[in-house]
Amino acid sequence: MRQFEQSVYELIVETSTNLPGDVRRAVKRGALAENRATRAGLALSTIATNIKMAEEQISPICQDTGMPTFMVHTPVGANQIEMKKAILAAIQRATKEGKLRPNSVDSLTGENSGDNLGPGTPVIHFEQWEENFVDIRLILKGGGCENKNIQYSLPAELEGLGRAGRDLDGIRKCILHAVYQAQGQGCSAGFIGVGIGGDRTTGYELAKQQLFRTTDDVNPVPELRQLEEYIMDNANKLGIGTMGFGGEVTLLGCKIGAANRLPASFFVSVAYNCWAFRRQGAAIDPATGEIMNWLYERGSEVSVEESESAAAAEADAPEANREVVLHTPITEEQIRSLRVGDVVVIKGEMHTGRDALHKYLMDHEAPIDLNGAVIYHCGPVMLKDEEGWHVKAAGPTTSIREEPYQGDIIKKFGIRAVIGKGGMGKKTLEALKEHGAVYLNAIGGAAQYYAECIKKVNGVDFMEFGIPEAMWHLEVDGFAAIVTMDSHGESLHADVEKSSLEKLAAFKDPVFK
């Protein structure tokens, strides 16, 4: 097993930088279903560009490489202790070389370990089997989509759908509700794995295991196959769309598994995964540790590109969104002229800010003048050499986590624009209106696309928070995002959520009896 550590490292790099073929086909089908000139169509076009850039540059598709989760099947006699040591060493190396973002944070102190190692991270599941090779699979599931996982205990009352009972139709309602509640916060269009039964822990494990299935496989259980097909036929009718912008494509895949349960418990667990569905596997020779073959189709064999049919659809599209170029610092007058739907292109300096920084700024002054500034909800992947810091991946993080702070910080510091993904709530919307600011929705997961817009790292504060949570000062040119919440009280996110709830109610009546 001399080559095992190197093989795991190669698996990590492949998973982080190159979407497998079946996922690419699903994204391509989604792109063909959307009008390219709409907001959703623009998002899918950006996603396609980002997939290609990540593959060519061998850099993370999305900056949030999640909590690496390994599923390892080993032959009888394999030394799992040594294999675990090799996996940990490969994780450290991949983090050091910028293929993984340092994501392991002490839950009590908030300290980032810096190497993705710590109690509980990475997650490694070993299981012995009777085959004569090692089957190792990895999934990188980011925090934004992980936060949209949901578990139901039946019977239950579900918003828009009424009562969900302990039967197949109740399960159907739970899955539809899971898609609805995610909205655009999990980087839709997404994939879901569903676990029926088990206990609270094994139900979630079963749901995540479904994500290791290929998107085009066929469920061997007739009832579950029928339910998977039903969800794929109907979830997209909710109109949530890519990034929650509204549109035809909300769900790209649905896989369902079932396990026995206790008489008193009936759980339906849903694991939500973003469009950047990063999972790969390898069959490894137990004698040498070398990769024998990949377990999922290599992504480079399937290209996600603009097609003739997509180009033809553009001719029938509505008028393109207005594009406005803004140089930082930005004035209130410039902000008040913007409306939901405008595409804003930022030039100048912007500043990253996530959970730790927002909490800090509530009680402290900022290290720089933020009047007229742009705050970017982003935890980038950064590498440092003799020339300084370089951005390796820099897509947006889910903004709703900052809802308790954002309105107060806008007021306190005079911030004019907040960039993130998934939208924010009523408190932030009121602050935008009162103080003259906007929320800009960047394309979730497009970490290479946005990294290319960053021309220079001007500096950094609060490195004690860890690289993802530090406040990076970035010089950008051509950084484009869409106004989805403006200074006039309009919110695209609120409109889409209201509309999708009305559409969800159409699925209230029983289908499976």
Residue pLDDT tens, the chain, 513 long? 789 999 999 999 999 999 999 999 999 999 989 888 888 988 998 999 999 999 999 999 999 999 999 999 999 999 999 999 999 999 999 999 999 999 999 999 999 999 999 999 999 999 999 999 999 999 999 999 999 999 999 999 999 999 999 999 999 999 999 999 999 898 999 999 999 999 999 999 999 999 999 999 999 999 999 999 999 999 999 999 999 999 999 999 999 999 999 999 999 999 999 999 999 999 999 999 999 999 999 987 667 665 444 444 444 444 457 899 999 999 999 999 999 999 999 999 999 999 999 999 999 999 999 999 999 999 999 999 999 999 999 999 999 999 999 999 999 999 999 999 999 999 999 999 999 999 999 999 999 999 999 999 999 999 999 999 999 999 999 999 999 999 999 999 999 999 999 999 999 999 987
Q: Which residues contact 5 (CB under 8 A, 6 or more apart)?
A: 86, 87, 89, 90, 289
**Cα 241 off chain centre by:** 15
Note the pLDDT of residue 300: 73
What is the C-alpha separation between 138 and 171, in angstroms, rounded? 28
CA angle 94, 98, 103 (to 5 degrees): 80
Helix (H) or strand (E) run with residue 202 in it: helix 200-210
CA–CA distances in Å: residue 269 to residues 149, 230, 265, 368, 512: 8, 18, 12, 45, 19
Amino acid letter for position 239: G
Asked whether the beta carbons of 24 and 299 are under 8 A apart, the reply is yes
Note the pLDDT of residue 36: 81
CA angle 411, 414, 418 (to 5 degrees): 90
259 φ, ψ (degrees, to nearest 5): -135, 160
CA–CA distances in Å: residue 372 to residues 344, 365, 411, 439, 473: 15, 16, 11, 14, 14
Helix (H) or strand (E) run with residue 429 in it: helix 426-435
Note the pLDDT of residue 304: 66
Asked whether the beta carbons of 135 and 255 are under 8 A apart, the reply is no
Rg of the Cα trace of the chain? 23
Helix (H) or strand (E) run with residue 146 in it: helix 143-146
Note the pLDDT of residue 513: 73
Retrieve residue 182's tokens.
């995610």
